[in-house]
Amino acid sequence: MSAIVLLTDYAWPDDSVERRVIESAGFRLVTGPASPAPEAAIDALVEQHQPDAIMTCWAQVSAAAIRASSRLKVVARLGVGLDNIAVDTATEHGVWVTNVPDYCVAEVSDHAVAFALAWTRGLIGFDREVRSGRWNPASANLRRLANMTCGIIGYGRIGHATAMKLNAFGCRVLAHTLYPPADAGHVQFVGFEDLMAESDIVIVHVPLTESTYHLINHSSLALMKQDSLLINVSRGAIVDTDAVVEALRTGRLSGAALDVLENEPAVPPALLSCAGAMLTPHAAFSSDASLTELRRRAAEEVVRVLQGSAPEQPRNAPRPQHAHR
């Protein structure tokens, strides 16, 4: 019997890339609904199909789902973050967890810099004004990006790429990370509070963990300069949305550029009412090249594990399966 791979959901028109990789290796692909089903529905799919591997985009792969298939060997995330996978349970049950950590470095860092440029050049506001019939260049209150101090919270692959692009514009770049590299060129590593206080633009690039939940909150926003910009292209729950709305209304922030939200796709009406809010639909990762690479590499990781090899991008160290199955 050939191994079964369950694709829980997908954020693109079809499953052709995944299917080509999985089926060319002699395995069978079973595909769930395109939009992520509720957790209980995913649990039921796993119980029904008993997959040897699960690939997931946004759907929750719960502890119950991982326990439901005695054949399960790997859960592969079609993305970077692992907050929708019960990693501890997978580890305990001898199941690999993988992701594709570097497929969208260029896209997400481009998106962050694009938000910064849109703010300094007033692109969103001008577009709204012209569409409303107002042509008033004298109203411009623009900024020179080269004069800005930009603070990057998190200095992994994407944070590093963002820093290099901002350096090219002539910005002063600060960064905060738990493990700063020995040589980072024109980047100054500082404490979190110093970064918040000194930056004209703060960019969030950290993953969502227990320690980063609502890292950006009323207290940290109070440290920021008046009329500054917050950019979040990481995970929505790192930022307290209510605190951002208040900061926009009081003028502490003149802009909040958010590609991710706490309860997406729901957008709080209070945030929509803020003129300084720039919102995109969790699309920073996306391009024609990045999506093709993501889908192919995630499927190849599954094939690698099902053929008996270790994955190239393991995110856990699973216990031997014979001890738990």
Q: For 280, phi and psi rounded to 5 degrees? A: -125, 155
SS3 letters for 175-229? EECCCCCCCCCCEEECCHHHHHHHCCEEEECCCCCCCCCCCECHHHHHCCCCCEE
DSSP 8-state code for residue 103: T
Determine which one of 23, 39, 198, 264 is catalytic: 264
| Token reading at 1 | 């019997």
Contact 317, 95 (CB under 8 A): no
Residue of 235, 297, 304, 315 marked active site: 235
**What's the first-to-final CA gap in the chain, in angstroms?**
19
Strand boundaries in the chain, DSSP class E? 4-7, 28-31, 53-56, 74-77, 96-98, 149-153, 172-176, 187-189, 201-204, 228-232, 253-258, 277-279
Q: Which of 282, 293, 296, 319 is catalytic?
A: 282
129 is known as an active-site residue? no
262 part of the active site:
no
Q: Based on the residue annotation, tell me whether 235 is a catalytic residue of this protein.
A: yes
Contact 64, 43 (CB under 8 A): yes
The catalytic residue positions are 235, 264, 282
